[in-house]
Amino acid sequence: MESRLGSIEQSFNLRYSLWVREALDELPDNFTITDPSISGNPIVFASRGFLKLCGYSIDEVIGKNGRVFQGPRTERRSVMEIREAIREERDVQVSILNYRKDGTPYWVLFHLCPVFSKEDGRVIHFVGVQVPISRRRRQSGGGFRRRNSGCQDGASGYRESHVGSCRRELCSESSLGLSMVLDMDVGMSSNDTELEVHEPCEASEIEKQKAAAAANSILSLLTHYSELTGRLVCGKRCCAAGRSLLSSSLVISLGRIKQSFVLTDPHLPDMPIVYASEDFFRLTGYARHEVLGRNCRFLGGADTDISTILQIKKSIQTEQACTVHILNYRKDRSSFWNLLHISPVRNASGKVGYYVGVQVDESCMIEDRRRLSPEMRQHSTVGAVKVAVRSSSMLLASSSKS
């Protein structure tokens, strides 16, 4: 838990100047910022306006996934639109029904936009702006219908049908956190109120423009405060040639795998680590920024057997899996015997795209006797990584064709 909270804190502190939080809090907008590189794409920043609007405290929001704001009548279509935008790493605007801490539902226009690293084009964060939607029902058939009560022109009207009933509670990996100002008519019964709230709402052009303007303001601040640290971000991808990119959807899928492992790219110089699991950070004591971009040999030390290293190199050259016992060292230089399994990971075209290395601390194997054997856990992890990589490469291929 401490490792995860530390990663969340570093998500901002290492990328931007320390003044960024104060500057963001001065904005009047309601928004959250999430980090897809951390397991679960958690919220790493929430504005004061957003907290006031949804009724949660900062401690109840930071580290949580946006699905905590969804409820039984949140539309699946809206959730899937946001999930698709995260997978494709692009902007999207969606009207969605969410829930406050006290359980009351509210409509907002949710505007999602990615924040890219200017150095390598990776998605660093997702910004989610929430603009309350004034109560306005979508057109259906003959257009908007008026109620008999309150019609100034005396024309008869009909209540719009209740279309949002009995929806299942949903879970998503998207960053959501939303709010609405309810403008209920005086004299409406509680049943009428529930009916109106759950009828689909559509944002106006003014609300859409307000969301886009807020997102631009946030991106401008993030860009400015990243310049002060030299780790620049931008609103559009500027990918350096020859750099390896893991899509946000792949990173999120890998984050669900609960085991110590790393993913390396054999197509880049020195075969660097391009992904490391949270369990790997706990096992070795290193932080994310101290691991990514380095070759795995940094775990070695004075007493690491050279013949074992040569065995690993040979298996990589022949594109074969191998399992070795190797002496590795943590950040504090304490040593541990690592039962290491390495396997090539092929993409949808059948070519080796990555190598996965799964680590098991042999000193903990006795305590884990009631669980799956280390070998079964390693092979299960490799299988899950292969499924995630192949699924991601197939999705990217289909997207490029469309």
**Domain boundary, last residue among 169, 204, 234:** 234
According to the 3-state scheme, what is the secondary structure of the chain?
CHHHHHHHHHHHHCCCCCCHHHHHHCCCCCEEEECCCCCCCCEEEECHHHHHHHCCCHHHHCCCCHHHHCCCCCCHHHHHHHHHHHHHCCCEEEEEEEECCCCCEEEEEEEEEEEEECCCCCEEEEEEEEEECCCCECCCCCCCCCCCCCCCCCCCCCCCCCCCCCCCCCCCCCCCCCCCCCCCCCCCCHHHHHHHHHCCECCCHHHHHHHHHHHHHHHHHHHHHHHCCCCCEECCCCCCCCCCCCCHHHHHHHHCCCCCEEEECCCCCCCCEEEECHHHHHHHCCCHHHCCCCCHHHHCCCCCCHHHHHHHHHHHHCCCCEEEEEEEECCCCCEEEEEEEEEEEECCCCCEEEEEEEEEEHHHCCCCCCCCCHHHHHHHHHHHHHHHHHHHHHHHHHHHHC
User: Which pLDDT value is given to residue 101?
Assistant: 94
Quick one: 230 and 329 in the same domain? no
Q: Determine the structural domain holding residue 109 and report its residue range.
A: 2-234
User: Which pLDDT value is given to residue 23?
Assistant: 94
pLDDT along the chain (402 residues), means of 10: 64 86 94 90 94 94 91 91 87 93 94 90 92 67 37 38 36 38 38 56 91 95 91 77 65 90 91 92 90 91 93 94 95 94 88 94 68 84 91 63 52
Quick one: 359 and 230 in the same domain? no
Quick one: 262 and 207 in the same domain? no
Is 190 within a domain? yes
- The model's pTM: 0.61
**Domain boundary, last residue among 234, 259, 284:** 234
Quick one: 194 and 158 in the same domain? yes
Question: Which of 108, 320, 356 is closest to 210 using CA atoms?
Answer: 108
User: Which pLDDT value is given to residue 146?
Assistant: 36
Total domains in the fold of the chain: 2
User: Which pLDDT value is given to residue 140?
Assistant: 43
Is 260 within a domain? yes
**Domain boundary, last residue among 208, 234, 260:** 234
Q: What are phi and psi for residue 300, nearest 5 degrees?
A: -80, 170
Q: Which residue has the tokens 């409406």?
A: 188
Quick one: 129 and 266 in the same domain? no
User: Which pLDDT value is given to residue 355?
Assistant: 96
Quick one: 35 and 154 in the same domain? yes
**Residue 301, domain CATH:** 3.30.450.20
Is 81 within a domain? yes
Quick one: 204 and 352 in the same domain? no
Quick one: 207 and 181 in the same domain? yes
Is 243 within a domain? no
User: Which pLDDT value is given to residue 50?
Assistant: 95
User: Which pLDDT value is given to residue 268?
Assistant: 85
Is 270 within a domain? yes
Quick one: 161 and 252 in the same domain? no
Quick one: 192 and 272 in the same domain? no
Quick one: 258 and 230 in the same domain? no
User: Which pLDDT value is given to residue 338?
Assistant: 95
User: Which pLDDT value is given to residue 186?
Assistant: 36
**Other C-beta atoms lying within 10 Å of the C-beta of residue 125:** 28
Quick one: 203 and 279 in the same domain? no
Is 241 within a domain? no
Is 239 within a domain? no
